[in-house]
Amino acid sequence: MKFIIGIGGVTNGGKTTLTNRLLKTLPNCCVVHQDDFFKKPDQIEVGDDGFRQWDVINAIDMEAMVSTVKGWQENPVKFALSHGVSMSPESTSEEGIHILIVEGFLIYNYKPLIDVYDKCFYISIPYEECKKRRSTRTYTLPDPPGLFDGHVWPMYLRHRKEMEDNCERIAYLDGMTSKDDIYNKVYESFQNGVLNNL
């Protein structure tokens, strides 16, 4: 059995924290991080707002990301082994359960990916908290002054509306609740989803 979980959300909302916890507890679990598919900085356009357009779908090599997800779908055992994921003995064949987490901020904004998810989650936090968390993060390329208000948050609002119009199966999670509460909701939903697919 193959099961794909989407973990989407606003920047600095807790997607990676949740994903890492799920990776430790779910059996035969692999992850595809959307951030791993960002194009090189010189390929990122500068928009009318004066900022490099990192927070748009064109900044990500989505075809490569879809290809990676398809690689897992075709052979989750080979994918897991090639990515250093330890497998339970019963799952080294196609028997047993194989789980893929697709994590990122625009994972519900690309039509070829929308239909692959068995469960869709989206973590949101309010503007002030998001801005505060973002200001404490260290990025390889530091945020220029004004980026959050001039680009990041407006793009988030635009893409969230687009996502809501494209994908109706999303379970929304309040990123202001405890990490344990968020994890428990996702884990319980995953367990129910697996039982329903047996």
CATH 3.40.630.30: does it fit domain 2-196?
no
Radius of gyration (Cα) for the chain, nearest Å? 17
- The pLDDT value recorded for residue 196 is 76
pTM of the model: 0.91
- Say what the pLDDT of residue 89 is: 60
129: tokens are 């908290």
Phi, psi of 167, rounded to the nearest 5 degrees: -135, 115
Residue 32 backbone phi and psi in degrees, to 5: -120, 115
Task: Tell me the mean pLDDT per 10 residues along the chain, length 198.
Answer: 95 96 93 96 90 92 96 92 74 74 96 93 97 89 88 94 91 97 95 78
Respond yes or no: is residue 35 known to be catalytic: yes
Neighbours of 27 (CB within 10 A): 13
Residue 187: CB partners within 8 Å, gap ≥ 6?
A: 22, 25
Predicted local confidence at residue 119, as pLDDT: 94
